[in-house]
Each structure stands twice: as C-alpha cells, then as structure tokens.
Structure 1
Amino acid sequence: MKYLHDNAKAFYFKGNNIGCLLIHGFTGSPAEMKLLGEFLHKQGCTVNGVLLKGHGTKVEDMEQTTWKDWLSSAEVELIDLKHKCDKVVVIGLSMGGIIALNLAERFNIDAVVSIAAPIKITNRKVYFARVIKYFKKYILKPEKKFDEDVKDYCISYDRTPVALIPHLLKLIRITKRRFKKVKAPILIIQSKNDKTVRYESAEYILKKVGSQFKKLVYLKESGHVVTLDLEREKVFTEIKKFLVEINLLKF
C-alpha cells in the first residue's frame, strides 16, 4: 500500500497504563494528530493514532468507503487499546471528534476530547451534496498555510469526494441524537477563527452531552486543524491540564 507520506500511517507509542486513542478528520490522516501523540507520550501515555479506512493513501480508496467504515476503524482500535490499558482517553479532531463522541456514547471510557467537531458547517453547500454530486465529483481544498516546521504533518487529500459528504452528515446526525449518553468527562476545543466549522458547534456539544465534568476552551488565532496551527502548544497544554483535573495525569 502506498501512503501519501510516512506520517500518514497509523502510529503507536507504548507507554504506561493510560491509553490515548487519537482520531484524525475527514480526508485527513494520522499525521495531523502525530505531534499531539508525541506530546502525550512524553507525559507517559500509551498512544494509538488511528488510520481511518480509505484515508492516507489515495482519494479513490476513500471513495470505496462509508461512514460505517470510518467508525469501525476507530472502534476496533479502541477495543484493542482497552485491552492494553487500564484507562482510556479518546481524542478526535473534526470528524474524528464526532467519532470520539460516538464511541463515548457506546463504550465505557475515562475521558473524551472533542476538537473542532462539526455540528454546524460553515459552507452551506455541503447540505446539498446529494444533488451536487451528480454535477461535481470533487471539491478542491484550499491550500493550508502552516509553519515550516509542521509541513510534514499537513498530510491530507487535496480534494473532497462530494459523494461522501452525505456520509459525514449522517454520522453527525446519528451521533448528536445520543449526546446525553456521553457520561465521561469531556474537554471541547474550538477555534473562533475556524473557517470550516462554526464555533457554535462547541456550545451545542457542551449543552447536550450528559457528562458531569465538561469544559470548553476557545481559541482565537487558529484555523480548523488546531493540532498543527499557531495555538497548537495551547491545545496540548489544555489537554494535559484536563487530564490532570480528572486525575488521569499528574503535573
């Protein structure tokens, strides 16, 4: 199998009995979660960076998948991590955040971190994708501008298959209906400068989940992929702080 880049492959860092499952976004790859994974491993955690089915190789591979495949990819890795670790935290970016919340509804996990999870999407055309797909196969993605030192982590498809957008929307719909079943402590991170996901998405999640311990952190300068953007160190620090607050990590 040919990958877009070595960093597009799944990764695993063995550490202590606290496991962190990291889930990337729609059309993305584990690369966008790898710096966070390295940070958490330095804190002692065991880290599993999931590669969702159809991602990280070529866009034609993704076109052969559905939302069930993406969810199943993460579910299999979660079950494996639960067998290896006493405590498990699920952390997802964008669609990965939706998948993380879905897993938190159905599995007994110790914490969940939702980063830029899309409840409300800025581009309203996505809601007409069922029609648009008959006229347009792909939507080209605008080039992302990140610091030079993270360019090898900005690994994703350069286009979005329009026919798969309804699958993303269905995954969101199915998951949000059962937010009250999310009981694990939750950290929600969202940038107000996100041009992909409307920042009100974070407030919706905060209001609807059934967790007793829930926390929302807003960013101001980052775009959508906050794990690689200007405030990535703040993102990492806030996640560590959250895990300390719920007694999974120590300073």
Structure 2
Amino acid sequence: MTVLPGAEPFRHEGGDIGVLLCHGFTGSPQSLRPWADFLAARGLTVSLPLLPGHGTRWEDMRPTGWQDWYGEVDRELRVLSDRCARVFVFGLSMGGALTLRLAAQHGDAISGIVVVNPAIAVHGAGARVLPVVRHLVPSTKGLVGDIAKDGPVEIGYDRVPLHAAYSLGRFFRLVDGELPQVTQPLLLLHSPEDHVVPPSDSRRVLSRVSSTDVTEILLEQSYHVATLDYDADRIFAESHAFIERIAPSVGEEGTATGG
C-alpha cells in the first residue's frame, strides 16, 4: 500500500517531554503536521502516527476498526512513555476520542490532554441503519476538507467505508461511557461552526469528564479541521502554553523523521 504524499507519519526526537498527536477518521497525519512541526521546533519529542487503513485508499480502510486505530496510538503512547519523563496527548475529531480513551485507560501516565473539535457520536439518521446498510453499500460521501480558509487542503478519503463507520460508532459509545475516568488537565478547543462534528459533542465531553483543570476555547474563525484553518496558530500557541504550565521543563531540540 502506497501512502499518499504528505500523509506520512512523523516523529521528532526532542527532550524529555513527549507529545502524541492523533489524527481523525479518514484523515491523515497531514492535518496535524503543522502542529507537530510547531511543537518539535520548541524542543519537544513528538509522535504523529498514521492510523491503520488511513492515508492510502479508502478501500484499505474497510477491514479495519476501532481496535486497530486505538491499538496504534496505545502502542505509540507506550513508546513515548518509555522515552519521556512527561507525556501529553493531543487529538483532532476522532483523534480527540482516541485521546480521551487513552486518558481514561492510562491515568497518571498522561500529564494532560488537548482535544480539537472532539467527536464522540455518529450523528444523523444514517447512524441508525448502519448495522444493516454496511452490508449492502460499501461507502458513502467523504468528510474531509471542512476548512473556512481558502487554500489549505486536507489529505484524506473522499469516501467513508461503512464497515469502518459502524466500528467508529461502537468506539464512540465506549468512549462516552469512559469519560468520567478522565481526570487529567484538559484543554478543549472547538469551532461553533463545524459541518462535521456538532458543538454538542464538545459540551458532552466537558459535562462528563472528571478533570478539575479544564479550559475551553472557542475557535470562532474556523470550521472542523481547525488545525489547518484560521485559528491554527492559536491552537498551537495555546497547547504549548498548556504544556509549559503543567510541565515547565521543556527539552532540547532533537531530530525529526517522516515525510
């Protein structure tokens, strides 16, 4: 399977503070690469993996499910934890759900989490018929590219494989049930105008986590893929300030690998 140009995973060996970044459903590391570069330039160790079934062809995603996507970020977290003294996890959209489950499962091993337009439910009438329709129809229209700013393009699939979408819905229900187990400091940034994930998902996260150190920031100028949109610089700066507040000792610069 050939990875799409720009969708490659990325890793930067920096100091003793690590950040794991989790991309979204049918997307790729490209949507978070500017964020990863920003953090790497400030001396952090950064891991931005490519989730199984992503970054190639949508057909390659059909046999994958949430256990594959979560398993990948769980492995990367363990690698970072062995390498770094403190680890943070950041995520966009479904990557936000992956982030929240990692937080629920790993507790004190994660120093803090940042989620951007986190998704924790499959919305719309189609969600109710997915269990049946996925056996009859292979895919539906894609979700990528919800960006207000002219110019940026998100690399991802123009089709959503319905078997994978069904698995995603099961994962969201699992994460929703585990939200009270999330206790880490949380920075949640979300766009009031988002054509993929409604603001109700962010409200539910905020209402159900057990974290006491919680910051909510509205991204007024951006749509769903805010990490490539008008508010990208704010996301990067706020997330770095969040790390500095919780773990003031930032490591020295290292080396990068990836596309």
TM-score for both structures, normalised by structure 2: 0.89
1:240 is aligned to 240
Deviation at 1:143, TM superposition (A): 6.9
Deviation at 1:119, TM superposition (A): 2.7
Matched AA of 2:155: I
Instruction: Give the gaps of 5 or more residues in structure 2.
Output: 251-259
Residues 218, 128 of structure 1: alpha-carbon distance in 2 compared, 3 angstrom cutoff: farther
2:13 is aligned to 14
Provide the rounded CA distance (Å) in 2 between the counterparts of 1:199 and 1:171: 19
Residue deviations 1:1-59, cap 9 Å, x none?
31111x21111011111100011000111111100000111221111001111111111
Matched AA of 1:64: P
CA contact (8 A) 1:123 1:196 kept: no
Question: How does 1:92-241 map onto structure 2 within 5 Å?
Answer: 92-107=91-106, 108-141=109-142, 144=145, 146-148=149-151, 150-151=152-153, 154-241=154-241
SS at match of 1:113: strand
Provide the rounded CA distance (Å) in 2 between the counterparts of 1:41 and 1:51: 17
CA contact (8 A) 2:187 2:239 kept: yes
Provide the rounded CA distance (Å) in 2 between the counterparts of 1:38 and 1:95: 21
1:75 is aligned to 74
Residues 143, 84 of structure 1: alpha-carbon distance in 2 compared, 3 angstrom cutoff: closer
The alignment status of 1:35 with 2:34, answered yes or no, reads: yes
Provide the rounded CA distance (Å) in 2 between the counterparts of 1:4 and 1:70: 18
Residues 248, 204 of structure 1: alpha-carbon distance in 2 compared, 3 angstrom cutoff: farther
Q: Report the more deviating stretch, 116-125 or 208-217.
A: 116-125
User: Percent of pairs identical after alignment?
Assistant: 33
Name the count of aligned residue pairs.
246
Residue deviations 1:92-111, cap 9 Å, x none?
11111000100001112101
Q: Report the more deviating stretch, 237-246 or 34-43.
A: 237-246
Provide the rounded CA distance (Å) in 1 between the counterparts of 2:158 and 2:248: 37
SS at match of 1:177: helix
2:256 is aligned to none
Q: Report the more deviating stretch, 194-203 or 235-244.
A: 235-244
Residues 70, 16 of structure 1: alpha-carbon distance in 2 compared, 3 angstrom cutoff: same
Q: RMSD over aligned Cα, in angstroms?
A: 1.7
Q: Report the more deviating stretch, 222-231 or 18-27.
A: 222-231
Residue deviations 1:128-172, cap 9 Å, x none?
322332443211226735543x44xx2111110122212111111
2:254 is aligned to none
SS at match of 1:221: coil
SS at match of 1:236: helix
Deviation at 1:248, TM superposition (A): 4.0
Deviation at 1:206, TM superposition (A): 1.2
Matched AA of 1:128: V
SS at match of 1:227: helix
Provide the rounded CA distance (Å) in 2 between the counterparts of 1:247 and 1:206: 23
Provide the rounded CA distance (Å) in 2 between the counterparts of 1:172 and 1:215: 22
The alignment status of 1:84 with 2:83, answered yes or no, reads: yes
Provide the rounded CA distance (Å) in 2 between the counterparts of 1:98 and 1:213: 19
Provide the rounded CA distance (Å) in 1 between the counterparts of 2:245 and 2:20: 19
